[in-house]
Amino acid sequence: MGNWRIKLVLLLTILSTIGIFAIIPYQMTLMGNQPIPGNIPTSIIVIINSAVQVLYMFVLILVGLRLQNRTGLTSPLLNGMVYSKTRVHISKKWLFNSIVVALIASVMIILLDLFVFSPLIGAPLNQLPSPNWWQGLLASLYGGITEEIMLRLFGMTFIVWLLARITKKEKDNIPNSFYYVAIFLTAIIFGLGHLPATIQVFGDLSTIIVIRALVLNGLLGLWFGYLYWKKGLEYAMIAHMSADIFLHVLFASILN
């Protein structure tokens, strides 16, 4: 592994660690009234979980960056920061698009939840504590950085690489369909990852509740995956962070 790639691994690990610890206040608020086995302080549980997450994020970053070279997926802005021979070019057009589409999709999510899923499901069984706006703002760092590393840098890259390996395709002739499959699957995985939190809210799972989790959490994942494919990981990060700010800070303040 080249010196510049080692620097990139360390940079992404530092960024993901910032995201992991930034979400702690948000997590502690949500866990505030949950029973903890053995009377272990909530803060201790969260810190231990965060430390373990840092370790496996390091592994995911190593694997993701290694497989990027074989899939045509990139992290151009971060590469430019650590590799002096790479010119950093920020597309203002795509930066604007990433944020605007994240805003539109966030509005769609709110409307779908209020006018489609809520009438079908009814009131939540458990009312979880509402984190403060600044906790939601900090949590957006976790979504924008850490989750994008897990889902796009590792997850989506791995799926594209696996499909290419199975079909014996080289990087230069990987069909677009492989990327679309990877985008869709990682969006589904992201939605499934929210089922434990969904159970906390509704107490049980039904078909419509599972569909709600997949749609509301997976919708934006399609956009993030497309950005990763077409422009690079950083644009997916920016879009994800923007969406979390819209949903957990701006709209949460308005609706509450």
The share of the chain scoring above pLDDT 70, in percent, equals 92
Distances (CA, A) of 46 to 22, 28, 55, 129, 244: 12, 7, 15, 17, 21
So what's the pLDDT on residue 200?
Answer: 81
The larger pLDDT score, comparing residue 141 to residue 31, is at 141
Mean pLDDT of 250-256: 82
For the chain, the domain total comes to: 1
Q: Where does the pLDDT of residue 5 fall: very low under 50, low under 70, confident under 90, or very high at 90 and above?
A: confident
pLDDT digits (tens, 9 = 90+) for 223-250: 999 999 999 999 999 999 999 999 999 9
pLDDT digits (tens, 9 = 90+) for 213-226: 999 999 999 999 99
Mean pLDDT of 71-80: 92
Distance CA 23, CA 30 (A): 11
Q: Judging by beta carbons within 10 Å of its beta carbon (0-12, 13-18, 19+), is residue 114 exposed, middle or buried?
A: exposed
Domain hosting 156: range is: 3-255
Q: Are 201 and 124 in contact (CB under 8 A)?
A: yes
- Residues 251, 254, 256, CA angle at the centre, nearest 5°? 105
Identity of the residue numbered 68: Q
pLDDT of 103 strictly over 60: yes
So what's the pLDDT on residue 4?
Answer: 67
Distance CA 118, CA 255 (A): 14
Of the given ranges (84-93, 102-111, 204-213), which has the lowest mean pLDDT? Answer: 84-93
So what's the pLDDT on residue 126?
Answer: 67
Q: Where does the pLDDT of residue 3 fall: very low under 50, low under 70, confident under 90, or very high at 90 and above?
A: confident
Q: Where does the pLDDT of residue 154 fall: very low under 50, low under 70, confident under 90, or very high at 90 and above?
A: very high
Q: Are 82 and 11 in contact (CB under 8 A)?
A: yes
Q: Are 230 and 182 in contact (CB under 8 A)?
A: no
Residue among 222, 214, 230 nearest 183 (CA)? 222
Mean pLDDT of 190-211: 89
Write down the pTM of the prediction. 0.92
Q: Judging by beta carbons within 10 Å of its beta carbon (0-12, 13-18, 19+), is residue 108 exposed, middle or buried?
A: middle
